[in-house]
Amino acid sequence: MKPELKLKQTMLRAAGLLSLFVVISVALLMAINEFTQPKIAQAEQTALHQLLNQVMPASAYDNNLLEDTKTLIEPEYLGSHDPMMVYRARLNGEPAGLVIETVAPNGYNGEIRLIVGVFYDGRVAGVRVVSHRETPGLGDKIELRKDDWILGFEGKRLTEDNANRWAVKRDRGEFDQFTGATITPRAVVGAVRLTLDYVNRHTEELYD
Amino acid sequence: MTKSSINQTWRDYQDIAQKGLWNNNQALVALLGLCPLLAVTNNSVNGLGLGLATMAVLMTSNILVSLIRHWVPSEIRIPVFIAIIAAAVTIIDMLMHAYFYTLHGILGIFIPLIVTNCAILARAESFASKNSLDKSIVDALFIGIGFTVVLVILGSLRELVGNGTLFDQAWLLFGETARGWTLHLSADYTPVLLAILPPGAFIGLGLLIALKNYADQKLKKPGLVNIPVEVQTSN
């Protein structure tokens, strides 16, 4: 056999084998993807449901929160140009509360993502941090796992009279700051306050 | 099989195990896969999770590479190995996403990044492509254990010093029954933040390497030359 022909043959064989491997890998990945996709979607829903129930007690509503939603693009109030989800809780068809995604853009280390639960009468049902990059040991006390500071919002309202009390103590408000970390709690209090302000202004349309 | 060949096989296995766990430990001697190692070891559970995922990938890739070693021409072996490793990692990523949802969220990008863990390609190239299936399995097992143990020790060390706890969030890996497993140091312990922050990873790993080298020196019998360290060809 001529050397060029042999070379060509070796190359073709190599290319064929390599393609075979890629095809097998891709087929396998597609099969596994098909199999895990519903499980991942289910795990996502469960996780989201658990998260929402932390800021809106399950006893307060009887509808499916995950299906009664609305999206808002309100960068001034919710801190982000992305659409934010609002989950609407109803009891016997009557408005019971809202769970709103919001962002504190001015954390010590970037965005702090929050969810805020608000009852129909304007009381805070709960606030939780969904994700953040604050300094471990200082700013991360906004996580419930580290500290119960975040529970301090529960039951509070934002009214015209107390608006200036919605700040950390250093800013003459009523919320504690952390030793060595004022920026983080200030950002969270500010974001919750803006969210409540928005809810107060738009209560009826939010339930539409 | 004759008695002496069985003995020989056992000696081979022992040799592979000793190299994987100690003499050629991927994290402490070969210093491979340091990026995920340093990034996720801020507590013991994360370390264990990533270690097990890495071990599963290593096992899959070593088995497959060893099985195909005779009929993949050497010019295309590296792309084939990469395809195998990438597929294995993606499969494990999807399975973890489905069954360990929260842990998957915490380990995040470091699961897909196992693809770039040089230790895995290094084992495929320098061991599995040249050795029989049984030896490649033993190799993957002990290299994996050696890597996981370092991840867990480093994670525990950093968690203990930097957070004052051990096995915090073990439920992410072991389910609801593990919620009470967290061990706390005394309540008035002041955590040393540095240990949890990135520099803590470098300092901790440095201490572990130093400790291993010290132990090697102590173990070395007088008059014996240093145990030769297998040099990795890949990086």
- B18-59 pLDDT, tens digit per residue, is 999 999 898 899 888 888 888 889 889 999 999 999 999 999
Q: Which domain holds residue B43?
A: 31-218
Tell me what pLDDT residue B226 has: 57
Q: Which residue of A has its CA nearest to B85?
A: A25
* Res B234 pLDDT > 80: no
Distance CA A82, CA A101 (A): 11
Is residue B112 in a domain? Answer: yes
Token pair 């009664």 is at which residue?
A68
Tell me what pLDDT residue B228 has: 60
The domain total for chain B is 1
Interchain proximity A137–B90, CB inside 8 Å: no
* Res B225 pLDDT > 60: no
Is residue B154 in a domain? Answer: yes
* Res B148 pLDDT > 60: yes
**What residues contact A62, with CB distance under 8 A and at least 6 apart?**
A90, A91, A92
Chain B positions touching chain A (beta carbons under 8 Å)? 42, 71-73, 75-76, 79-80, 83-84, 86-87, 90-91, 94-95, 97-99, 101-102, 162-163, 191, 193, 196-197
Q: Which residues of A8-39 are buried (b: 16+ CB within 10 A; e: fewer)?
A: eeeeeebeebbeebeeebeeeeeebeeebeee
Interchain proximity A47–B84, CB inside 8 Å: no
Tell me what pLDDT residue B51 has: 93
- DSSP state letter for B209: H
Question: Helix, strand, or coil here: A115?
Answer: strand
Interchain proximity B101–A10, CB inside 8 Å: no
Distance CA B116, CA B103 (A): 20
**Mutant choice from B42, B90, B176 vs A, greatest count of A C-beta within 10 A:** B90
* Res B95 pLDDT > 80: yes
Partner residues linked to B165 by β-bridges: B184
Interchain proximity A36–B75, CB inside 8 Å: no
Residue pair B204/B154 in contact (Cβ under 8 Å)? The answer is yes
- Cα A21 from chain centre: 40
Chain A positions touching chain B (beta carbons under 8 Å)? 10, 13-15, 17-18, 21-22, 25, 28-29, 32-33, 36, 39-40, 43-44, 46-47, 135-138
> What's the whole-model pTM score?
0.80
Distance CA B46, CA B69 (A): 34
Tell me what pLDDT residue A78 has: 93
- Strand blocks (E) in B36-171: 165-166
Tell me what pLDDT residue B221 has: 62
Is residue B5 in a domain? Answer: no
Domain boundaries of chain A, sorted by first residue: 1-55, 57-207
Give, in order, the Cα–Cα distances in Å from A32 to each of A29, A37, A39, B9: 5, 8, 11, 36
Tell me what pLDDT residue A185 has: 94
Interval B167-208: pLDDT, tens: 888 887 887 787 878 888 877 788 888 898 889 999 999 999
For chain A, which ranges sit under pLDDT 70?
Answer: 1
Is residue B2 in a domain? Answer: no
Tell me what pLDDT residue A190 has: 95
Is residue B81 in a domain? Answer: yes
* Res B227 pLDDT > 60: no
Chain A hits for B87, CB-CB cut-off 8 Å, are 25, 28-29
Minimum-distance CB partner of B101 among A32, A43, A138? A43
